[in-house]
Structure 1
């Protein structure tokens, strides 16, 4: 919670040495991010990655920091603190550029997995170099997400693409699936880098820069399985009490999340179905043109007309394929990313309720004087600060998330509309040109008959 109370409002205005933009050619546009994965369907799923104890990384110009520095609190060096201060007239310039690229397959006697190259360029003083290069696998991203949730329980952590895919929809480590996941992982890291608080998280820095270290040692620092199970049961009980004492503003927030989740899930399913039906239509239309060419060989009087129809169909196929590409690469990933966001938001609300419930239970104990009064008073004071920090962090991040969501959704649907208009205009112009040529041909033939 300390990190949330000390949330920085902006980053320094420097630019990374040797770097211009943060994304290389071919890197994804708007997506969670997304992930435009087919895993949203209700079907049997296939596990792509197995849990492992080690974190394979390779680094350039980086040295491993002291393991004691793995703290969820904000950076405390003088230059780091300067980065957290934002002056009203200071432009919000980017000082951390991250690119995820070059997926690479690794085959061992035990498993097969994919790693992705992560290049980081920065001008921040707390980094000991201006450029880093590491390789990470999906499980490493999952570890980072979990550490961010532990350190910032009421901040909205960007979602990761699912670990599972629908059986029969995508082959294991299919090129299209790997590329979709790469784009989603790229968006995940850049969402964190652009966040005013998460970007300064120490585990995020280690993820981007560490040369070689084992994840198992850090797992041992957390609670064991039985302890986690006990905490989960207690968290559920506390969160149920937290719902009863949830302030009205958070009740409204929760209602919004429930409605948003229902709508975005429905849009996601319909969009996936439309995409599938359009693909089937496209595959059939591709067979339609060659049939007219074959037909023209046996119809001498209709040969030119039939060949003209085949040419129009071919051009319409190309326009349709481009439109479908825009749908699957632009709209679907954005919509599905916010499906994952809706699930993330529900988890954030539960964690907020749990913190609130801890305070309520102590106040109740003090009222009934079931424990040492002085000790309870001290604990209540600390919990009140914790609740205030949690609430303020969530409210600030909520407004930021809503603005980003509205911009992303609006942009995705606007781009889709423009792409549809352009595609249909191309098809319309193609058929109008064909009709004009046929009309002119008919008039010429009529003129010849009269003469």
Structure 2
């Protein structure tokens, strides 16, 4: 199924048992929208997701329906939400990461090319690990796309978004294309402008203590979570190196046990079995850390960036409000265009107050959601680590008993 020569791989909901779950909402009301990605097919240059929706919301024409969507269409939906002025006071759920299967496919291809230089046992074990790695990555990709839609569906405002409804309900292709060169250049300059604006607003005087504390916390937290994510990735990479070494040790010791004609051959065989057996829980430990820690860190790294984007939009509104107040003072001093300037100032004031009110709720929800999710996953990870460690201890005891039996 996952061999390098295959051009497409499929994943259905029955096979997705160990995926990251970041959706802690379980609302059951008149506007309930339940979304899952029931199927996904990976082709060479794209992944097709089958999005299944079940709803009681009156904004949809049917109560159950499904559509096929590409990753680019998820990005389109995220961008439309992010650019909507009405959502300036909201934390827009982070867009799902682009599917990256080239590395795993390349490893499988290289393994196939080097088959002649490996023993059959080493080839099969390495192939199984690479296939498992590819499948795990595919599952997580599907899960992250699903979480993005579930976050939108659970949000009291975003679930009514017209583009979201079109994304879920419109049966045809959305005809979303990648950005052309002109649009990419335009996006680059927008990013530069935003970065310069953020620097300008960094020393902005904030009268609301809540937002000042939130800004300082998010800036510090953003740095810390990036560092922690990097450290967690290093742990899983090191564990991958260790399990790869276990394969080689097991094979080499097996070879020694067959070639050695002395009593040592029995010891070699016991050690070969030990490294093969201990490799399996070590793989599960790595998978658990990746799933319960690394993936959560990566997700909340992106979610923190979304919260900082919200803070930037509010800071921009505050700067506009301060500028409007100054313009109104000047208009009154000159006794010119007072009524027009007052209307502009009032509109900007209303926008700033609306954004601030929504932002407080969003930031409080972000804190509660984040704390609950990390607590849940760290407890589960600790319990799994204890379970796997106990299993490894039993394996060590069993190997020692076998040594004692051989020696007696």
Calculate the TM-score normalised by the size of structure 2.
0.77
Aligned 8 A contact 2:229 2:297 in 1: yes
CA distance in 1, matches of 2:71, 2:221: 28
- Picking from 314, 317, 321, the partner of 1:355 is 317
Q: How does 1:8-407 map to 2 (within 5 A)?
A: 26=16, 29-31=19-21, 92-93=27-28, 95-104=32-41, 112-151=45-84, 152-163=87-98, 177-212=137-172, 233=193, 237=197, 240=200, 244-246=204-206, 247-297=208-258, 298-369=260-331, 372-407=337-372
Relative to structure 1, the CA distance from residue 171 to residue 142 in structure 2 (aligned partners, 3 Å threshold; closer, same or farther) is farther
CA distance in 2, matches of 1:424, 1:288: 21
Check if 1:426 corresponds to 2:359: no
Relative to structure 1, the CA distance from residue 231 to residue 157 in structure 2 (aligned partners, 3 Å threshold; closer, same or farther) is closer
CA deviation map 1:62-101 (0-9, x unaligned): xxxxxxxxxxxxxxxxxxxxxxxxxxxxx94262111124
* Richer in helix (by share): 2
CA distance in 1, matches of 2:143, 2:381: 19
Relative to structure 1, the CA distance from residue 154 to residue 166 in structure 2 (aligned partners, 3 Å threshold; closer, same or farther) is farther
Relative to structure 1, the CA distance from residue 224 to residue 380 in structure 2 (aligned partners, 3 Å threshold; closer, same or farther) is farther
Aligned 8 A contact 1:154 1:390 in 2: yes
Give 1:385 shift: 1.6
Coordinate RMSD, CA, aligned: 3.5
Other structure's SS at 1:244 match:
coil
Relative to structure 1, the CA distance from residue 169 to residue 372 in structure 2 (aligned partners, 3 Å threshold; closer, same or farther) is farther
Other structure's SS at 2:378 match:
helix
CA distance in 2, matches of 1:231, 1:337: 22
Give 1:429 shift: 0.8
| Higher normalized contact order (CA 8 Å, seq sep 6+, divided by chain length) | 1
Q: How many residue pairs get matched?
A: 356
Give 1:162 shift: 3.2
Give 1:195 shift: 1.9
CA distance in 2, matches of 1:214, 1:244: 41
CA distance in 2, matches of 1:230, 1:279: 40
CA distance in 2, matches of 1:327, 1:373: 62
Relative to structure 1, the CA distance from residue 288 to residue 105 in structure 2 (aligned partners, 3 Å threshold; closer, same or farther) is closer
Structure 1, gaps ≥5 residues long: 1-22, 34-90, 446-451
Deviates more, 1:379-388 or 1:259-268: 379-388
Deviates more, 1:300-309 or 1:119-128: 300-309
Relative to structure 1, the CA distance from residue 98 to residue 92 in structure 2 (aligned partners, 3 Å threshold; closer, same or farther) is closer
Calculate the TM-score normalised by the size of structure 1.
0.70
Give 1:437 shift: 4.0
Aligned 8 A contact 2:91 2:307 in 1: yes
CA distance in 2, matches of 1:235, 1:385: 26
Deviates more, 1:430-439 or 1:259-268: 430-439
CA deviation map 1:221-266 (0-9, x unaligned): xx99979968984995598358524333211111111111111101
Give 1:175 shift: 6.0
The equivalent residue for 1:64 is none
CA distance in 2, matches of 1:283, 1:228: 42
Deviates more, 1:388-397 or 1:309-318: 309-318
CA distance in 2, matches of 1:238, 1:441: 70
